[in-house]
Structure 1
Amino acid sequence: MTTPQRLETVRRVQTAMATAYTGLGAWCLLHPYSVIALGFTPKYVAMANVTTHLFTRCFGAQAMTCGLVLGTSEMTAFSFTAFGLAMIPYIGWNYWFGVGPARGMVTSLMWLDFVGNVFFMGGSLWCAKVLREEEGLLKE
């Protein structure tokens, strides 16, 4: 790939991540009931209440803010690296509730969350690598 193609791919990955955050955040904000019903097992769905729905909406609003910032910022190699490394706790959450000690709380659909988090981490670290390489070429 040529340098302009690589940089365009970085922008596309950034846009895809921003769109995912914004879209899924909007879903949590606007329809928390379906998010809870699809994401949690019946035992835990039965315990959902007004506070649970409020927290789901707050989570959605934060995700939308993250998507907005990600979609409108000029990301650098450092910021992509920080964003990628910030996915580690989310991947840990996927492990803990998916196959670890808290297994049984979330439905099997949560593997999609794991795949998304791995995409965010891998995509961010790849973008950081490309930008570092491009910065190195510019300095020579």
Structure 2
Amino acid sequence: MTTPQRLEAVRRVQTVMSAAYTGLGAWCLFHPYSVIALGFTPEYAAESSVITYLATRCFGAQAMTCGLVLGTSDMTAFSFTAFGLAMIPYIGWNFWFGIGPARGMVTKLMWLDFVGNVFFLGGSLWCAKVLKEEKKGGKSGHAKKD
């Protein structure tokens, strides 16, 4: 891939991550009932309260803000690295509630959340790597000679 193609790929990954955060955040904000019904097993969804719906909406608003900032920022290698590493607690959450001690609380659809979080981690770290390489002068990390 040429330098412009690599930088365009970084921008596309950033756009996909931004759209995912903004879109899924909007879903949590505007339709918390469906998020809870699809994401939690019937016994936990049935115990939902007004606080649960408010918390889901707050989570959605924060996710939308994150997505909008991600989509409008000039990300650096450092910011992509920080964003990617920030996904680790979410991946841990997926394991804890998906197959760990708290399994049975969320539905099997939550594996999609795990896949998304792994994509955010891997995509962010890949983007950071590309930007570091480009800053150093090329894919190999050395300045190109004519």
In the alignment, the residues of structure 2 paired with residue 39 and residue 85 of structure 1 have an alpha-carbon distance, to the nearest angstrom, of 24
In the alignment, the residues of structure 1 paired with residue 25 and residue 56 of structure 2 have an alpha-carbon distance, to the nearest angstrom, of 9
Aligned length, in residue pairs: 140
Q: Alpha-carbon deviations, 1:34-83, whole Å to 9, x = none? A: 00000000010111011100000000000000000000000000000000
Asked if 1:117 corresponds to 2:117, the answer is: yes
1:112 Cα deviation from its structure 2 partner: 0.1
1:6 Cα deviation from its structure 2 partner: 0.2
In the alignment, the residues of structure 2 paired with residue 24 and residue 56 of structure 1 have an alpha-carbon distance, to the nearest angstrom, of 11
Match of 2:36 in 1: 36
Match of 2:83 in 1: 83
Asked if 1:8 corresponds to 2:8, the answer is: yes
User: Which stretches of structure 1, 4 residues or longer, exceed 6 Å deviation after superposition?
Assistant: none
Gaps of 5+ in 1: none
In the alignment, the residues of structure 2 paired with residue 38 and residue 29 of structure 1 have an alpha-carbon distance, to the nearest angstrom, of 15
CA RMSD of aligned residues (A): 1.0
In the alignment, the residues of structure 1 paired with residue 115 and residue 22 of structure 2 have an alpha-carbon distance, to the nearest angstrom, of 17
Q: Alpha-carbon deviations, 1:61-112, whole Å to 9, x = none? A: 0000000000000000000000000000000000000000000000000000
Match of 1:94 in 2: 94
The structure with the largest helix share of the pair is 1
* Percent identical: 82
Match of 1:126 in 2: 126
Structure 2 length-normalised TM? 0.94
Asked if 1:137 corresponds to 2:117, the answer is: no
Q: Alpha-carbon deviations, 1:101-140, whole Å to 9, x = none? A: 0000000000000000000000000000000000000784
Structure 1 length-normalised TM? 0.98
Match of 1:25 in 2: 25
Match of 1:57 in 2: 57
In the alignment, the residues of structure 2 paired with residue 26 and residue 10 of structure 1 have an alpha-carbon distance, to the nearest angstrom, of 24
In the alignment, the residues of structure 1 paired with residue 8 and residue 31 of structure 2 have an alpha-carbon distance, to the nearest angstrom, of 34
Structure 1 or 2, whichever has the larger Rg, is 2
Asked if 1:72 corresponds to 2:72, the answer is: yes
Gaps of 5+ in 2: none
